[in-house]
Structure 1
Amino acid sequence: MNPLAGVLPASVVTVVRFDDDAAEPLHPDEEPAVAQAVATRRAEFTTGRACARAALAGLGAPAASVPVGEKRSPVWPDGVVGSITHTKGFRGAAVAWSAAVRSVGVDAEQHDVLPEGVLEAVSSPEERAVLAALAAQRPDVHWDRLLFSAKESVYKTWFPLTGRWLGFEEAVLTPGADGTFHARLLVPGPVVDGTERTAFTGRWTVSDGFVLTAIALEA
């Protein structure tokens, strides 16, 4: 089962794995990113890159290396956009041709309550009021974790278009009970195809103990 595929359009190729295969080697230009890392970090990074290469192959692109670039973002082959995510028990990658999708961001998190104090650090009173109303409607969803994940997907979509940091407080995130979310930017947005993008819209799902969020900014 590939839950990422369910929250992205068909133009985006996704690959997920639920465990690590230590036998899969890293490319030489990927290796420096985890040269001093502990074993668990190295394993998740290695499997994430393996997912990325498998997704590139599924797209029909060269299964090239995916080194770490500025602010630790993946560097994709020319003509490709993509995103990688990993959390305990889940690794995934999503890629698309840049002619069809201008940017993509995906994030996976454990479907559980955020640690104490984190929600207050990453959300506004306005956002927390929306989450409280949603919790009354759908108590089966950890809306605080979903908001955190969706903001991660917003950043992963934003950064390749701007090359700039986006703080948690610089976008207002409004999830919907229908499996969508809307992010309104509070700072000038990127100009894409001649138009300033002032907001992003994405989709979310909960599957097998994970919450997954994704944005595909189509051309």
Structure 2
Amino acid sequence: MSDAITRPSPLAWPAAQFVPAPSDAPSAFTLARVDVPTPLDPDTGMWLPAMIASNQLHPDEAALVVDMPETRRSTFVAGRLAMRAALAVHAPHDAYSPILRTDRGAPVLPHAVAGSVSHKHDAALALMLPRHGLAPGTSMHVGVDLEHRPTARDVARPSIARRILTVPELDALSAFDADPLAQRERVILSFALKEAVYKAIDPTVRRYVRFTEVALQFTGNGLVSVSLLLPELSRSDMTVRAQYSLDDRWIVATAVAETTSGSI
């Protein structure tokens, strides 16, 4: 079989799929997911120029792709396509501007929106939330994480529970001892929620946050409360709300952090 047959079309990227937000998330949430086509030719010269010509990628974004390891290129592109689709909902005049990166790797977005992106090897998920309506002196940031729901095969793998859970969270995990798959899912869900929280608070704290510096408490009605155990936030007016949703394949976790000016 020739290379021309095995290589996908330069424009083989699936269209963005808009994903329902968690039921208790802000009503203005927009979530867009883009799946990564397989196989994708590692030679960016085969598909990047076409994506630029079709306005799917900005040339400045394409320049970032070229400098990345091959394993990162496809997920980065999927993330930019997902963010562009979500951005077009709230700031259509900015949808074709380049989405670059901060010094901490977060996407640089128009001030009119708060946004975040999560990458898996086979998909990327973007979250956008408009900033209009904020009280004066209040800043807002969001975070999102996308994880695969565990399968029975995953149960046999080593658990990350002791690396990411606080002591009370580990104690609560014992309620799932009779159902190893449900227990594994609670661990992955906790990981996803903490990742979303980290992204939402990073623009404020600007440092690596340990998993045990964020504590979660799940309630019987499917809600989760977040406690920040970071010393620099002990007297702040930052509030963080986290939400999650599950479908037959994915765990989606989102977070919103609001801070009153001068409270940090």
TM-score of the pair, normalised by structure 2:
0.70
Q: Higher mean Cα deviation, 46-55 or 115-124?
A: 115-124
Matched pairs, number:
215
Map residues 20-31 of structure 1 onto 2, 5 A cutoff.
Answer: 20=37, 24-25=51-52, 26-31=57-62
Q: C-alpha displacement at 1:144, in angstroms?
A: 0.6
Please name the residue that 2:77 is paired with.
46
The change in CA–CA distance for 1:33 and 1:132 in structure 2 (over 3 A counts) is farther
Separation in structure 1 between the aligned mates of residue 170 and residue 211 of structure 2, nearest angstrom? 13
Separation in structure 1 between the aligned mates of residue 198 and residue 64 of structure 2, nearest angstrom? 21
Percent identity over the alignment? 26
Q: C-alpha displacement at 1:208, in angstroms?
A: 2.4
Please name the residue that 2:186 is paired with.
143
Please name the residue that 1:163 is paired with.
206
Q: Higher mean Cα deviation, 131-140 or 1-10?
A: 131-140
* Letter aligned with residue 84 of structure 1: V
Q: C-alpha displacement at 1:110, in angstroms?
A: 1.1
Separation in structure 2 between the aligned mates of residue 139 and residue 18 of structure 1, nearest angstrom? 26
In angstroms, what is the RMSD of aligned CA positions?
Answer: 2.9
Q: C-alpha displacement at 1:78, in angstroms?
A: 2.5
Q: C-alpha displacement at 1:10, in angstroms?
A: 2.1
Greater strand share, structure number: 1
8 Å contact from structure 1 (residues 53, 65) kept in 2: no
8 Å contact from structure 1 (residues 180, 201) kept in 2: no
Q: C-alpha displacement at 1:216, in angstroms?
A: 2.7
Q: C-alpha displacement at 1:200, in angstroms?
A: 2.1
Please name the residue that 1:104 is paired with.
142
Separation in structure 1 between the aligned mates of residue 220 and residue 122 of structure 2, nearest angstrom? 25
Q: C-alpha displacement at 1:53, in angstroms?
A: 1.0
TM-score of the pair, normalised by structure 1:
0.82
- 1:118-149: CA deviations, max 9, x gaps? 22111222211122225669964610100110
State the SS of the aligned residue for 2:36.
coil
The one of the two structures with greater contact order (alpha-carbon pairs below 8 A, sep at least 6) is 1
1:172 aligns with 2:212: no
8 Å contact from structure 2 (residues 83, 127) kept in 1: yes
Please name the residue that 2:36 is paired with.
19
Map residues 17-96 of structure 1 onto 2, 5 A cutoff.
Answer: 17-20=34-37, 24-25=51-52, 26-61=57-92, 62-63=94-95, 64-96=97-129
Q: C-alpha displacement at 1:168, in angstroms?
A: 1.1
- 1:2-26: CA deviations, max 9, x gaps? 4452353222222122334965343
Separation in structure 2 between the aligned mates of residue 135 and residue 154 of structure 1, nearest angstrom? 27
Separation in structure 2 between the aligned mates of residue 201 and residue 29 of structure 1, nearest angstrom? 34
Give unpaired runs (5+ residues) of structure 1.
Answer: none
Separation in structure 2 between the aligned mates of residue 162 and residue 35 of structure 1, nearest angstrom? 31
8 Å contact from structure 2 (residues 119, 125) kept in 1: yes
